[in-house]
Structure 1
Amino acid sequence: MTMSKPYVVGIDIGGTNTVFGIVDARGTIIASGSIKTNKFNEVEDYVNELHTELFRLLEQNNATDKIMGIGVGAPNGNYFNGTIEFAPNLPWRGVIPLAQMLTDRFGIPVSLTNDANAAAIGEMTYGAARGLKDFIMITLGTGVGSGIVVNGQLVYGHDGFAGELGHVIVRPNNGRLCGCGRTGCLEAYTSATGVARTAREFLEVRNDPSSLRQIPIQDITSKDVYDAAITGDKLALEIFDYTGKILGEAFANFIAFSSPKAIILFGGLAKAGDLILKPIKEAMDRNTLNIYKGKVKIMFSELKESDAAVLGASALGWEAK
């Protein structure tokens, strides 16, 4: 069979931004663009804007008739149905038949999966997980997502939704309210939003000096906490310790489930490097069952954050029907 069309499109839908790119068979992003996800209360308006911007990019790169398929990574994306279902961090409620909406607009086959699964596929195809058959991808962004690969296959479960490790309950009693409506989820503590919440809690109940006190408390972001921590701010460092400890404890449990060779961290919070890695490793090692001790590496994604999800999503484009 000849490769009639040389490119695919990868679309990564995040809570804040949607990034898209034209990708060739070697995994090179030829061109990319983005739109704001959270600007559109109606999904139809969002699809219109996405169509306009993406079509413009295709025209500029002389690729309008050269796209084999479109792959999409989205929060709560269901690979089996091509739908986004009840995504807490997106402005649209209910079940959104996004793959069909995009197919209708572009006339190109579209395949859709969960955003963390897309990142895992990207990592396996082009990044740190090349050659790994068993690993867990953890995305630390607006939310916490996961892609679980066992024996070289993504775990989808019977309904397409397997691998919501961000919604494992890590604080069962009086835990924080999560965007999913339950309390005590990992995401409520270890997402970028969770780190900002921890900062607000610490600042409210304690008196120790911190450069974070110069920022209006409701405006503090995880980036502010990082900026303070790298200057040696004690409170900010403690926030990272607290966050890393919760992640490490959770990882010890995840290891018992699928015995991965590696846990790969991806997303904004992974940029904190050793600030987050050290407490994760300590808590993970302390809580890991003996038979697994010393066997699981924690790694950072090798793909540029903006590229990984787009590349992963694009990999689905080759298979789209």
Structure 2
Amino acid sequence: MQDKWIVGVDLGGTTTKLAFLTTSGEILQKWEIPTDNSDEGRNITCNIAKAINEKLASLGENKNRLIGIGMGAPGPVDYENGVILNVVNLGWKENYPLKEQLEVTTALPAAIENDANCAALGEMWKGAGGGAKDLVCVTLGTGVGGGVIIGGNIVQGSNGAAGEIGHITAIPNGGAPCNCGKTGCLETVASATGIVRLATKEILKGDLKGELAAKQAANGKITAKDVFDSARNGDQMAVKVLDEVTFHLGLVLANIGNTLNPQKIVIGGGVSKAGDILLNSVKQQFNQFAFSSVKKSTELALATLGNDAGVIGAAWLIKNKLNL
């Protein structure tokens, strides 16, 4: 009997990642297509179906090889009904029936979940989670996302918005505006965008000495990577920014740890590529604020799956739904 494949999809505002995986989570093929959010996002599911059919044809395979499709999408999701509640950058109106549309266009059973939740599921199944059934994943990228897994299941919340770690208030007074409409969210200090904002603010204070200021002067801008690289080299301004970022991140993660006591808290996203300089500093702050038994039993770790976490977690979604 022919082995069946699962389709995993990680939908982003600019690109959509797709993969064929085995039912044990091994990626067989992966590729990307541009995300077409024109015409109120009507082309998105059609383009995904077309991309799947074209890839099957190029491999000399037919649709019978596929058993189901899972997708991670940005924004809060009503998992039971497969509805995207609110997405600002894909053109869809509120309460968009994504699961239904995906099943119509692909002729496959589908499961839909928030993209950060899918990344958490991927890390649980095949990554840094190491099979831990109680896991929190925080993704530090352009924004800050999060996923909470208890007993092997994603915590949805009453309206699909559980796990929005990036919108925990880190700075209650005088915080920077966040895209969500609030101010002082963790996202405003711990995302790549937030780190650059903090560093630029330090440079504008007028202390133009040091490596970080020199990079700003030479390139006209700096990146989060510049901040971490300069901090590794002992640049005082970069170290100050690193300390501020990891103070807020460590405090938030300690409060999450005190509330949920997960086996692991996994830090992923592009910012996590900074590695040990980020992790060690966050651990220091976490240990300062975590309850004693949480400190002993909750491990902080860097994500290991990188950009594959989303498609792997999406595949796990439909595998779990179909009881494979």
- Alignment-mate amino acid for residue 9 of structure 1: V
Looking at structure 1, the residues matched to 244 and 227 of structure 2 have their Cα atoms a distance apart, in angstroms, of 13
Looking at structure 2, the residues matched to 129 and 98 of structure 1 have their Cα atoms a distance apart, in angstroms, of 28
For structure 2, list consecutive stretches of 5 or more residues without a partner in the other structure: none
- Alignment-mate amino acid for residue 306 of structure 1: N
Task: Report the equivalent of 1:45.
Answer: 43
Aligned length: 316
Looking at structure 1, the residues matched to 38 and 200 of structure 2 have their Cα atoms a distance apart, in angstroms, of 29
Conserved? CA contact 1:134–1:150, under 8 Å: yes
Task: Report the equivalent of 2:117.
Answer: 117
**1:216 shift after superposition:** 2.4
Pairwise CA RMSD: 2.4
Task: Report the equivalent of 1:157.
Answer: 157
5 Å-filtered alignment, 1:153-232, equals: 153-209=153-209, 210=213, 211-217=215-221, 220-232=222-234
Conserved? CA contact 1:136–1:263, under 8 Å: yes
Deviations 1:186-208 (A, max 9, x none): 11211222222222222222423
> Aligned in 2, Cα 1:42/1:90: closer, same or farther, shift over 3 Å?
closer
SS in 2 for 1:42: helix
**1:40 shift after superposition:** 4.5
Task: Report the equivalent of 1:75.
Answer: 74
TM-score, length of structure 2 as denominator length? 0.88
Task: Report the equivalent of 2:266.
Answer: 264
**1:41 shift after superposition:** 6.6
**1:106 shift after superposition:** 1.1
SS in 2 for 1:102: helix
For structure 1, list consecutive stretches of 5 or more residues without a partner in the other structure: none
Task: Report the equivalent of 1:87.
Answer: 87
**1:289 shift after superposition:** 2.5
- Alignment-mate amino acid for residue 45 of structure 1: N
| Deviates most, 262-271 or 202-211 | 202-211
Task: Report the equivalent of 2:319.
Answer: 318
Looking at structure 1, the residues matched to 285 and 199 of structure 2 have their Cα atoms a distance apart, in angstroms, of 20
Task: Report the equivalent of 1:10.
Answer: 8
**1:261 shift after superposition:** 1.9
Looking at structure 2, the residues matched to 221 and 13 of structure 1 have their Cα atoms a distance apart, in angstroms, of 25
Confirm or deny that 1:306 pairs with 2:307: yes
Conserved? CA contact 1:12–1:19, under 8 Å: yes
> Aligned in 2, Cα 1:119/1:64: closer, same or farther, shift over 3 Å?
same
> Aligned in 2, Cα 1:227/1:42: closer, same or farther, shift over 3 Å?
farther
Task: Report the equivalent of 1:97.
Answer: 97
Task: Report the equivalent of 1:142.
Answer: 142
> Aligned in 2, Cα 1:184/1:105: closer, same or farther, shift over 3 Å?
same
Conserved? CA contact 2:143–2:166, under 8 Å: yes
SS in 2 for 1:318: helix
